[in-house]
Amino acid sequence: MKSIYLLCIMLGVLFCRCAEDKGNYDYTPVDELTITGIDGTYTKIVGDSLKIPVTFEHTVQGENENYEYLWEMDGKKIADTRDLGILTPSDMSFGNKTCRYTVIDKDNGMKYYKNFAVNIVSPFNWGYYLLTEREDHSSVISYFSVMDGNDKFIQTTSISGVELGDMPRSLAGKFGHISALKDYFWTITSVTSGGENPVIITENATFIPNNIVNTSCFVDQESGYVFAPEFAPLNRQGNQFFISQGKFISYNKGLLYRPAKHGKDYYWSDPVWSQAGYPHMFVFDKLSQKYYTIQSQPNVPEEGIVGDSYAYDKVVAITDCPSFEGHTIIGTMAEYAAPWDDATIVTASSNGISLIKISYAYSTGESKCGSPVVLPLAGVDSDSKALLVGKDWYFAVGNKIYTSPVLLPTLADFVTIPEDCGKIVSMNSSAMQSLLVVATYNEKSSEELKGSVIFIDMQTKKQTVYKNVIHKCVSILSCNADPYGWEGYGDGK
């Protein structure tokens, strides 16, 4: 009984001591950090500014920040600052990048994370593509967007990592449905005469090569054919052909057929496709200085001739076709007036600008040539340009542009380009033909980029000038809109 009594006294004393000890311990609350200000996904084009200001929320008021910071993209460090402010690398691949922001508390080693994504997209889409040439003859594509409100020209020497060749020749394009993208876009064919990949075919939706055409694409690899294209004509059905070193070559499903074979030597250039839907082309021979038509050779059993539908082996002379000696071909036009398939050839010579019509009837084999129409104009030379827009011709001579109707040609002044921009070296119209797109070059300029671009409103003649923004332009392709007005893509101009 005595033992029980002592035990009760001891428990009571112990309980009193515990109660008296309340609040004698010093508890330090741990700060918990919450990161805000970072979105889930950012969409940027290469070279774009990526700025992300962050804010911190603390669970402990007045907490001092003694932190380290780490920004990562696909596991690679891109910054170690509190806020992010970088330019996305110009060589960065397209697609979604997994990103993480880490804050490290240097006092206790605690780490706080925030995950997000950056979608890198192509800067090339709806806009104007200009194939330009540096002084060393290397190629650069300059692009001007019509969708992002940015008035800067983007320069690239490659199409998604595939380098452009040297000696740029042309940009060819066609608008239509691209099944792989399940939408309508422009197919773009870049043509150069040098380099490992002289032809790169892409589209303006992703700007990723769909096809690369070079010497290895010849069906017959044992014949030693060399592919150095100068022209890339598309027929009325949108099929691609090439003229390489004066030889006419068919292209189908990624393969180059053999060059056309003829009974004598020709060096083809300046092609004009039939508009009647017939499988023939008007093409200029630099050796004879005359135009001919070429077409696939049909079977002629009685003569022992076996035709080849893939090769344009048959050459047909055009009756009374004049020699173009002393003339430079600066433009062409094709039209169909049944039964005649017509091509108008525009030339520059010391006499001025000449327009001559040649005609061919595929169904009968007849051909004829009209009398040339000469438009006297001072200053015309081999650098002059001609462009057909709607039912009017536009002629560039020096820094001046003249116009003339197709019917009853008569010259009239259109606009004068600012003299300090230099001479006009290339022209095209916008997709809907509401703008004239003009590229100039001033070889006397002290600027690194000696080329300028001028957009001219066809109705008001107002000029919007971008000076010293490109190298010397050789070709302009307007992928700024749907040329048929079906879907309303691009800027509608």
Residue 352 within a domain:
no
Residue 230 within a domain:
no
d(CA 317, CA 300): 19
Tokens of 216: 């290895």
Beta strand spans in 179-221 (E): 183-192, 199-203, 211-213
| DSSP three-state, residue 483 | coil
Long-range contacts of 265-271 (CB under 8 A, 24+ apart): 266/292, 266/315, 268/243, 268/294, 269/230, 269/231, 269/243, 269/329, 270/231, 270/329, 270/332, 270/345, 271/231, 271/233, 271/241, 271/243
Residue 366 within a domain:
no
Contact 463, 417 (CB under 8 A): yes
List Cβ neighbours of 252 (8 Å cut-off, separation of 6 or more). 239, 310
Residue identified by tokens 């691209």 is 178
Residue 268 within a domain:
no
Q: Look up the domain containing 102 and give its range.
A: 33-121
Residue 416 buriedness (CB in 10 A; 0-12 / 13-18 / 19+): exposed
Residue 77 within a domain:
yes
Contact 435, 425 (CB under 8 A): no
- Give the CATH number, domain containing residue 57: 2.60.40.10
| DSSP three-state, residue 214 | coil
Other residues' Cβ atoms within 10 Å of the Cβ of residue 369? 18
Tokens of 67: 């932190």
Residue 56 within a domain:
yes
Tokens of 346: 């525009």
Round the CA-based radius of gyration of the chain to a whole number and report it. Answer: 34
Task: Print pLDDT tens along the chain (493 aa).
Answer: 445 554 455 555 444 444 444 555 555 667 788 999 999 999 887 777 899 999 998 887 666 788 999 999 999 999 999 999 998 876 677 778 999 999 999 988 899 999 999 988 778 899 999 999 999 999 999 999 998 777 889 999 999 889 999 999 999 999 999 888 889 999 999 999 999 999 999 999 889 999 999 999 999 999 999 999 999 998 877 789 999 999 999 999 899 999 999 989 999 999 998 887 778 899 999 999 999 999 988 877 777 777 788 899 999 999 899 999 999 999 999 998 888 999 999 999 999 999 999 999 988 888 999 999 999 999 999 999 999 999 999 999 999 999 999 999 999 999 999 999 999 999 999 999 999 999 999 999 999 999 999 999 999 999 999 999 999 999 999 999 999 988 789 999 9
Residue 113 within a domain:
yes
Beta strand spans in 41-167 (E): 41-45, 49-52, 55-58, 67-73, 76-79, 84-87, 95-105, 111-121, 127-133, 139-145, 153-156, 158-159, 162-163
d(CA 91, CA 123): 12
Q: Give backbone dihedrals phi and psi of 147, rounded to 5 degrees, phi first.
A: -115, -25
**Number of domains composing the chain:** 1
CA 199 to chain centre: 13
Total-model pTM: 0.81
Residue 12 within a domain:
no
